[in-house]
Structure 1
Amino acid sequence: MSTVRSHMTMSLDGFIAQPDDQVGELFEWYDAGDVAIPTPYEHVPAFNVDAASAAFLREVTDGCGAVVVGRHLFDITDGWDDTHPAGAPVVVVTHRPPADAAERWPTTSFVDGVAAAIERAEQVAGDRDVTIASANVAQQALALGLVDEVCVSLVPVIFGEGIPYFTVLDTGHLLLEDPVVVQGTRAVHLRYPVRR
């Protein structure tokens, strides 16, 4: 059975992007070491991280069979040209798929609703894992009880404002288990199993 996890890189004060959607210094850790983590595509450069971050990245990406994102991130990245760096098909939560979706993004699925998106991602992933790479989608999936693990790559920067990873949960407090902690260069990686 696959694991459904959310994973975001986050500032110390809880933001995953600046107000203008730029990531600022958040992704410095992807180029802060000498261990190359190649992507499956020649046109997408490898990540060069420290040894501890490399082990963390391999754990959360090698088994990834599908990535779930929101329409906003999909539009910002232009759907990664149908080649997400994780090397997995993408499932987009949207009420209105692009008109040319089937031609431009043939391996991408467009689904109306978070629960349906997770279900579709699990079908696509088979026995591999599902990664949620969108804060809003992650929050909704957490509220629906669909997330097994919350991952945060916490970086040493304070934004002061921006787009938060977490906001108010309609369901109240959500308890997580104690984290697995990986100290990397320019990031501390935290993996919290969701308490059942």
Structure 2
Amino acid sequence: MSKLIAIMSMSLDGYVADNQDGVAEVFDWYSSGEVDIETGGADSMTFHLSPASAQHYQSLVHELGAVLTGRRTFEVAHGWGGNHSWGPAFVLTHAIPDGWPKPNSTVHFVTDGLSSAVKQAKAAAAGKAVGVHGADTIQQCLNAGLLDELQIDIAAVLLGSGIRLFDQLANTPYVLGNPTVISGIGVTHLRYSVLKGSPA
């Protein structure tokens, strides 16, 4: 059965982007090393990772069969050129944007709610994990009790303000399993299982 894994880079003080949706500082670790990783997808990029981060990234991406994200992340990423490198992308939105869907694109829009988006993403993942991306979508999945794991890349930076990853949580506290910890250059990769929220 497919797992839902939240995957985000975050500053040490809890922000995934600055007040203008800028993410440069929390993604600096993607260019901190000597190992070249091609992302694939229509908007293929080359990351330059430390050996530890490269091994971590490749292992994580190998688990994924689809991605679930929100409209804001889709817009900031310019739709990943129509094809996300993690597999088919399911965008939770109230309305399909103009000009979409595009021919030969693996980006799908879900307008009938989170449960439907999760169901479609899991079906597309064909037994592999679904990577959940975007602060709001991750919060929704946590609040609905749907998230299985948190994979958080803690960048070595303090932003002071911006968009928080864990800002609108219900049913707290959430109990997490013991983390796996991988130290890269300018980043610490943390992975937790989500055990449960507080009693209803």
TM over 0.5: yes
Cα deviation for residue 43 of structure 1 reads 5.6
Gaps of 5+ in 1: none
8 Å Cα contact 1:13-1:158 kept in structure 2: yes
CA–CA distance in structure 1, aligned partners of residues 41 and 144 of structure 2: 34
Gaps of 5+ in 2: none
8 Å Cα contact 1:81-1:105 kept in structure 2: no
CA–CA distance in structure 2, aligned partners of residues 146 and 75 of structure 1: 24
CA–CA distance in structure 2, aligned partners of residues 90 and 42 of structure 1: 12
Question: Residue 26 of structure 1: SS of its match in structure 2?
Answer: coil
Give 2:155's aligned residue: 155
Question: Residue 55 of structure 2: SS of its match in structure 1?
Answer: helix
CA–CA distance in structure 1, aligned partners of residues 138 and 64 of structure 2: 16
* TM-score (norm: length of structure 2): 0.92
Question: Residue 101 of structure 2: SS of its match in structure 1?
Answer: helix
Give 2:102's aligned residue: 103
More strand by share: 2
Cα deviation code 1:98-143 (max 9, x no counterpart): 2431225731111122221111100111111100011111111011
Q: Which is worse superposed, 38-47 or 140-149?
A: 38-47
Q: Which is worse superposed, 103-112 or 31-40?
A: 103-112
* TM-score (norm: length of structure 1): 0.93
Cα deviation code 1:30-53 (max 9, x no counterpart): 111111222224862221101111
In the alignment, residue 95 of structure 1 is paired with which amino acid?
H
How many pairs align? 195
Q: Which is worse superposed, 16-25 or 37-46?
A: 37-46
CA–CA distance in structure 1, aligned partners of residues 69 and 46 of structure 2: 22
Superposition CA RMSD, Å: 1.6
Q: Which is worse superposed, 164-173 or 134-143?
A: 164-173
CA–CA distance in structure 1, aligned partners of residues 102 and 160 of structure 2: 41
Shift >3 Å, 4+ stretches: none
Give 2:180's aligned residue: 180
Question: Residue 172 of structure 1: SS of its match in structure 2?
Answer: coil
